[in-house]
Amino acid sequence: MSRRAEYAARTTANAGTPTPSIIQMCAWLDVSRSGFYEWRDRPASATATRRGELAALAVRSFTAS
């Protein structure tokens, strides 16, 4: 099982239990903590911003109909 699949299995199997620590999750995914925090604090890309706007527009359109 890949590290990402293992992470997904552990986080979904533990519904209702405490979330694993950042240290554990980074170890499972073979990612450095500094790399995680750099990724987390990165501004949203133009694509992500557009997708968010489109999703909000779809929700408003659905709600209005």
- Residue 30 DSSP label: T
Q: How many helices (H) and strands (E) does the chain have?
A: 4, 0
- What is the span of the domain harbouring residue 15? 3-64
> So what's the pLDDT on residue 11?
63
Name the nearest CA neighbour of 28 among 54, 50, 48, 8: 8
| pLDDT at position 50 over 70 | yes
Indicate the number of domains in the chain: 1
Q: Where does residue 11 rank: exposed (0-12), middle (13-18), buried (19+ CB within 10 A)?
A: middle
Please provide the average confidence, as pLDDT, over all residues in the chain.
86
Residue whose structure tokens are 């990724």: 39
Residue whose structure tokens are 């527009």: 57
pLDDT average, residue stretch 16-27? 85
> So what's the pLDDT on residue 47?
97
pLDDT average, residue stretch 45-60? 96
pTM score of the predicted model: 0.51
| pLDDT at position 15 over 90 | no
